[in-house]
Structure 1
Amino acid sequence: MSAKKKIRVATRPSLLAYTQTMQTVELLQKANPNVEFEVIKFSTQGDRVLNRSLTEFGSTGLFVKELEHALLEGEADIAVHSLKDVPSFHPEGLKLVAFPEREDVRDVFLSRDGSTIDQMPEGFVLGTGSPRRRVQLADLRPDINFKEIRGNIDTRMQKMMDGEYDAIILAAAGMNRMGKEYKQNQALDVDQCIPMIGQGAIAIECRDNDEESIAIVEKVNHEPTKHAILAERAFMAEIEGGCKFPLAAHAVVSDDHLTMIAIVGDLKTNQFIVEQIEVAVEDSVEKSTKLAQQMKDTCKAKGINFYL
Structure 2
Amino acid sequence: MTAGKAPQKSLKIGTRGSPLALVQARQVAADIERLSGGDVVGEIVTFTTGGDKLTTERLINAGGKGLFTREIDAAVDDGRCDLAVHSLKDVPGAIPDGQELLAYPKREDPRDGFITVNGIKRLADLPEGATVGTASLRRESQTLALRPDLNIVTFRGNVQTRLRKLEDGLAEATYLAMAGLTRLDMAHLASPVPVETMIPAAGQGIITIAARPDALDSDIVALLRKLDDPMTRLAATAERAFLVELDGSCRTAMGGHACFHDDLWKFSGEVLRPDGSERWVEHGIAQTDASEDEMTELGRSAGERIRAAAGGNLPAYEDD
Whole-Å Cα distance in 1 between the matches of residues 264 and 165 of structure 2?
Answer: 43
Q: Which residue of 2 aligns with 1:124?
A: 130
Letter in structure 2 aligned against 1:141: R
Q: Which residue of 2 aligns with 1:64?
A: 69
- Superposed, 1:95-174 pairs within 5 Å as 95-116=100-121, 117-174=123-180
Counterpart contact for 1:264–1:306, Cα < 8 Å: no
Alignment match of 1:285 (pick from 289, 296, 300): 296
1:177-200 deviation digits (Å, cap 9, x = unpaired): 11114267x110001110001000
**Quick one: percent identity of the two aligned structures?**
33
Whole-Å Cα distance in 2 between the matches of residues 77 and 62 of structure 1?
Answer: 20
Letter in structure 1 aligned against 2:151: N
Alignment match of 2:248 (pick from 238, 241, 250): 241
Counterpart contact for 1:206–1:213, Cα < 8 Å: no
Whole-Å Cα distance in 2 between the matches of residues 14 and 305 of structure 1?
Answer: 32
1:37-75 deviation digits (Å, cap 9, x = unpaired): 111112211112323111212342101111111111111
Normalized against structure 2, the TM-score is what? 0.91
Which range is displaced more, 49-58 or 138-147?
A: 49-58
Counterpart contact for 1:88–1:233, Cα < 8 Å: yes
Alignment match of 1:52 (pick from 54, 57, 61): 57
Counterpart contact for 2:49–2:67, Cα < 8 Å: yes
Letter in structure 1 aligned against 2:96: P
5+ residue gaps in structure 1?
A: none
Alignment match of 2:278 (pick from 271, 274, 290): 271
Counterpart contact for 2:252–2:314, Cα < 8 Å: no
Cα distance change on mapping 1:158 and 1:99 into 2, 3 Å: same
Whole-Å Cα distance in 2 between the matches of residues 304 and 269 of structure 1?
Answer: 13
2:17 alignment partner, SS class: coil
Whole-Å Cα distance in 1 between the matches of residues 314 and 70 of structure 2?
Answer: 31
Alignment match of 2:260 (pick from 248, 253, 262): 253
Please say if 1:8 is aligned against 2:12: yes
Letter in structure 2 aligned against 1:5: K
Whole-Å Cα distance in 1 between the matches of residues 130 and 161 of structure 2?
Answer: 20
Q: Which residue of 2 aligns with 1:305?
A: 315
1:209-241 deviation digits (Å, cap 9, x = unpaired): 133332111111100000001110011001001
Whole-Å Cα distance in 2 between the matches of residues 293 and 306 of structure 1?
Answer: 17
Alignment match of 2:192 (pick from 187, 190, 194): 187
Counterpart contact for 1:11–1:80, Cα < 8 Å: yes
Which range is displaced more, 67-76 or 262-271?
A: 262-271
Whole-Å Cα distance in 2 between the matches of residues 269 and 104 of structure 1?
Answer: 25
Q: Which residue of 2 aligns with 1:197?
A: 202
Whole-Å Cα distance in 2 between the matches of residues 124 and 20 of structure 1?
Answer: 34
Tell me how far 1:100 sits from its aligned partner: 0.4
Alignment match of 1:36 (pick from 24, 36, 41): 41
Please say if 1:294 is aligned against 2:294: no
Alignment match of 2:92 (pick from 87, 91, 95): 87
Tell me how far 1:135 sits from its aligned partner: 1.8
Whole-Å Cα distance in 2 between the matches of residues 10 and 148 of structure 1?
Answer: 28
5+ residue gaps in structure 2?
A: none
Counterpart contact for 2:148–2:276, Cα < 8 Å: no
Whole-Å Cα distance in 2 between the matches of residues 251 and 83 of structure 1?
Answer: 14
Q: Tell me the number of residue pairs that the alignment of Structure 1 and Structure 2 aligns.
A: 306
Tell me how far 1:89 sits from its aligned partner: 0.2
Cα distance change on mapping 1:35 and 1:273 into 2, 3 Å: same
Counterpart contact for 1:239–1:296, Cα < 8 Å: yes
Counterpart contact for 1:227–1:253, Cα < 8 Å: no
Which range is displaced more, 95-104 or 290-299?
A: 290-299
